[in-house]
Amino acid sequence: MSVEVVPESELDGLRKRFDAELAAFIDRQDPDWPDGAPRGVLATLRRFVLAGGKRLRPMFCYWGWRGASGTDSPEVVVAAAALELFHAFALIHDDIMDGSDRRRGEPSVHKVFAELHAKSMWRGDPASFGRNTALLCGDLCAAWADQMFHECGLPPEQIHHGYGVFAHMRTEVIAGQYLDLVSGVGDGSVASALTVIRMKAARYTVTRPLQIGAGLAGEGRSCTPRTPRSATRSATRFSSATMCWASSAIPRSPASPSWTICARASRPS
């Protein structure tokens, strides 16, 4: 079986298309922003969403579509980009729970708003204000992801086929986040950490986006999230290696429990 490697130039082009759709979507929210509400939230989220990132989930969603349909589609680029908005929600909330003050080389969202509070000399605790505002920002990104997905322009029947897996993915990654918290106070086993990796990384990053793209193309009409075991195993290996490398190469304060367990297990004794 031959494997076709996608040229890096094509991947870069896809990233630019995703970013263009994300920027356009966020900009369209500006006129609907309630009068009198501070507009710093929109500006902060625009910077956060567009500031770097590999766009892996939109990529896999797009190629899931291409694998099933064989064609390019501007509408599926919009639907795939919606996964990046959901990812923004997950990152913002993850940084709050981990107490991480940096994300992609920039201050995390809760840190941005804590610093705003301090500079403005407002009443109350800056850290608490930052966390609470970041929670709202994450919630808004989750709502926007749903909106962008449904407004992608594909026929409603096709959107329905993909949305079943999208909804399942959201539940799965939040359950994985809870399990990650439990890992920090539980037995701390590698088996538990690998379960978190499968739920929060392998399925969330690779498997489910591929299935969403295929569903949007009309494959898997029952909307049941199934995938070959070999694909899940490959995604888990990829995610495990990535998380173990990142936990030692990128300073996070503190790292999540499963990152720490994975990193310790990967070090030579």
Domain layout of the chain by residue ranges: 1-154, 156-269
CA distance 85 to 59: 14
110 contacts 96 by C-beta, under 8 angstroms: yes
198-240 pLDDT, tens digit each:
777 789 999 999 999 999 998 764 444 455 554 444 444 444 4
Residue 19 amino acid letter: D
213 contacts 64 by C-beta, under 8 angstroms: yes
Residue-level pLDDT at 61: 98
CA distance 112 to 109: 5
CATH 1.10.1040.10 fits 1-154, yes or no: no
In whole angstroms, what separates CA 264 from the centre of its chain?
25
Residue 251 amino acid letter: P
pTM value is 0.82
The two three-digit tokens of residue 252, written as one number = 């996070």
Question: Any alpha helices (H) in 99-207, and if so which ranges?
Answer: 109-120, 126-150, 156-183, 190-197
